[in-house]
Amino acid sequence: MRVDVRQVALRPEREAELRARFESYQKSKLLGRLIGWLLEKEREGSERAARVKLFGSVPRIEGELVILDRVVDSDADALRDLIDNPRVQRYVPTYLFEKQREDVHETIRLLYGDLFSNEESLILAIRDKETGELAGLAEFYGLRDELHKVSVGYRLRECFWGRGFASEVAHLMVEYLYGKTDIEIITASVMVQNPASARVLEKAAFIRTAQGVEEDWGFDQPVIVDKFFC
């Protein structure tokens, strides 16, 4: 004999008991979720409080291929090579800090002065970890402190292209910002004529959020860029 349990009538007191137990279970489950959410938020708040401000100090960031640290006066010749190479400069803004003065020694001296203390830009050397040679520059700029937001960029000397440095630099910058600082939003812009840099960003978990946007990079005409978010 088969009985359809849906057709079995419960005594009112038994039905009331089961309903009360079910409601108690639901409340307990909801309370557990709420407590878990509050603990997670408390943990996130503690971790955020322990993180440093981006412009609190000049960091040293080490990877497998490169090290990011201060630009020093002995980097002057390599920096001049970076600035003077038109194949490098065609994909970057004309107004970059290192291009504003003829004397690269003065440029290096000023990198960690007002530019840094006014939180305008933090520029780090990209060094070949094996030799210590300056391979390029990594930059954090456009800080919006109230939004915990910053933009990033990099440029490499041509002799270091194709060696995986750019990909590691992008990863190191993201890991540093999200792991050590209070930054919560990272953005970047890439000229549409520079798909290699776009691929570098995508490998570092950046997402393309806008395509074909005009930006003023200091050229005679606005450049067309794709914008990225991480």
Residue 127, domain CATH: 3.40.630.30
Q: How far is CA 137 from CA 120, 153, 157, in A?
A: 16, 8, 9
Q: Are residues 66 and 176 in contact, defined by beta-carbon separation less than 8 angstroms?
A: no
What is the Cβ-side half-sphere exposure of residue 11, based on CA atoms within 13 angstroms?
3
Tell me the whole-structure pTM to 2 decimals: 0.78
pLDDT 10s digits, 133-144? 999 999 999 999
Domain identity same for 132 and 207: yes
Enumerate the β-bridge partners of residue 141: 121, 151
Domain identity same for 12 and 68: no
Strands 185-191 and 149-156: parallel
Domain identity same for 82 and 42: no
Residue type, 165: F
Domain identity same for 34 and 105: no
43-59 mean pLDDT: 75
Q: Which two tokens stand for residue 157?
A: 């000397």
Tell me how many domains the chain contains.
2
Q: Which of 19-33, 137-151, 177-191 has the lowest mean pLDDT?
A: 19-33
Domain identity same for 57 and 32: no
Domain identity same for 195 and 176: yes
Q: Give the largest Cα separation in the chain, rounded.
A: 98
Domain identity same for 16 and 78: no
Q: Give dist(CA 55, CA 122) in Å, integer.
A: 7
Domain identity same for 57 and 23: no
Report pLDDT for 51: 75
Domain of 24, in residue numbers: 5-48
Report pLDDT for 3: 45
- Highest mean pLDDT among 41-45, 53-57, 163-167 belongs to 163-167
Domain identity same for 222 and 173: yes
Report pLDDT for 5: 45
225: three-class secondary structure by DSSP:
strand
Please, which pLDDT band fits residue 33 given cuts at 50, 70 and 90? confident
Q: What percent of the chain has pLDDT over 70?
A: 79
As to burial, measured by CB atoms within 10 angstroms (0-12 exposed, 13-18 middle, 19+ buried), residue 115 is middle
